[in-house]
Amino acid sequence: MPGTRSVLRDSLLRRTPVRLALAFTLTVVVAYLVAVAVAYLWMRDDLVRRQDQRIEELFTLLATNTDQGDDAELVEAVRAQIAAAKDGHAVYQLLGPDGAVLATDILPVALPAGWSDQSASVLGRTGDIPYRVLVRKVGADRLAVGRDFSDLDALRETIQTAMLWSSLFALAVALGGGSVIALRIRRRLVAVKQTLDRVAEGDLGARLPLSGADDDIDRVSQQVNAALIRLAALVEGMRQVGVDIAHDLRTPLGRLRNHIAEALEATEQGTDTRPTLEQALAESDAIGNTFSALLRIAQIEAGARRARFAPVDLTATLRSVAEVYAEVAEDADMDLTLHDPGRPVWVKGDAELLVQAFANLVENAICHCPPGAAIRCDLGPEGHQAIVRIVDNGPGIPAQEREKVLRRLYRLERSRTTPGSGLGLSLVKAIADLHGARLSLGDAGPGLEIQLAFDLVTPGALTKL
């Protein structure tokens, strides 16, 4: 079983909540010990300072007996202090000018002048508590006054005992708190794993649970949920594309097959097959154009064209599109007008793709509006955005259909008899998404209003692009 315990211990230590709990516990205990150590050092220094002050006061009190130059009074004062100090915490030594011992309660040792710390054995005392000693001259004599560090030793023992028990208490509290935190994190991580397992099994509707605490895990969960929403939409879009391709290409493929069959039949009968083959070629080209458009949309959605982004003047871009389609609209007995601010409106993007997007919108309006319709292209800055509007007074698009027409190959019922593949608005949406623009379809009453909102590029940022 030792191997099993080792594996279990290794498994526990690899878990992030356990590591967090241990790190939290270690941090609390170390911080507590550092705080206690700092407090002990501060109190020790304060006690040493107070002890030095007490020794200094006692030394001064004894030295005042020499004011009249009477050494006998000094000797009597020192002996009186020795007699009074029966607890063994104080030491005294008075040496004459020749080094003779006049009064002492320690061994006749030569002590250094000034402040010094002396061991008990040097002074002839028992125990292991050191002494703080002050040696100075009083007249011609040398007076030594000292006290032991018993108060400091008692403080040290008290601090050690307090540190031991309080550290155990802090350790218990930290382990308990860390364990609670680890269990909460563990439960949340288990929920995350279970959700991701569901996603891996194909349940794209699964979402990571939120605790409501708005902490880091909640924010990451929100980002993952947003990614799951985009993934679900992408998968649904791919599924829908497959369905739409199967549905919309079935008819042209059927017509292509019929044309080929008619050509074979005409060949057998010896009649001219050219008209039939030309129809088959036209159907084949239409199918090829559809797949080319689908591939182009996929390439745009992949974002590869973003590397070619540069400052683009929407005013000049929209003017060029309006000039090209003005004659087309006139031939269709329609009126195409342009309203722009008369000055450059700069955005960051791909000029070629933006031209194609505006051209698709104008061409879409021309194709689906009746003769006599009015089509207007508007451009103007609004706040920090550049707004492009393509407005017509044609039949419009029902509100319930406006989201659907942005899908690939989706066509309104009334448009199925007209030429087209149902990819024009899908391409516009892909270009808008690539540029971070907001595409919206609204009611022009009557007619349709399509709006594209781009982020403006400030003049200062133009020089950096």
Per-residue pLDDT tens digits for 289-348:
767 766 777 777 666 677 788 899 999 999 999 999 999 999 999 999 999 888 999 999
- Domain spanning 305-462: which CATH class is it, in words? alpha beta
How far is it, in rounded angstroms, from Cα 407 to Cα 412? 11
The fold adopted by the segment(s) 67-152 is Beta-Lactamase (3.30.450)
Report the relative pairing of strands 141-148 and 335-339 from DSSP bridges: unpaired
Q: Kindly report the average pLDDT of the chain as a whole number.
A: 80
Question: What's the distance, CA 325 to chain centroid?
Answer: 48
Find the mean pLDDT for residues 195-217. 80
Find the mean pLDDT for residues 346-361. 90
User: In the prediction, which pLDDT does 408 show?
Assistant: 67
Q: What are the residue ranges spanned by the domains of the chain?
A: 67-152, 305-462
**b/e per residue 201-237 (b: at least 16 CB within 10 A):** eeebebbbeeeeeeeebbeebeebbeebeeebeeeee
User: In the prediction, which pLDDT does 421 show?
Assistant: 60
* pLDDT over threshold 70, residue 429: yes
280 vs 112, which has greater pLDDT? Answer: 112
Find the mean pLDDT for residues 178-202. 79
Per-residue pLDDT tens digits for 376-423:
999 988 888 999 999 998 888 888 888 877 776 665 554 544 555 667
Q: CA dihedral defined by 147, 150, 155, 160, rounded to 10 degrees?
A: 140
How far is it, in rounded angstroms, from Cα 190 to Cα 172? 26
pTM: 0.50
Q: Provide the 8-state DSSP code for 407.
A: S
User: In the prediction, which pLDDT does 301 show?
Assistant: 66
User: In the prediction, which pLDDT does 108 show?
Assistant: 85
* pLDDT over threshold 90, residue 453: yes
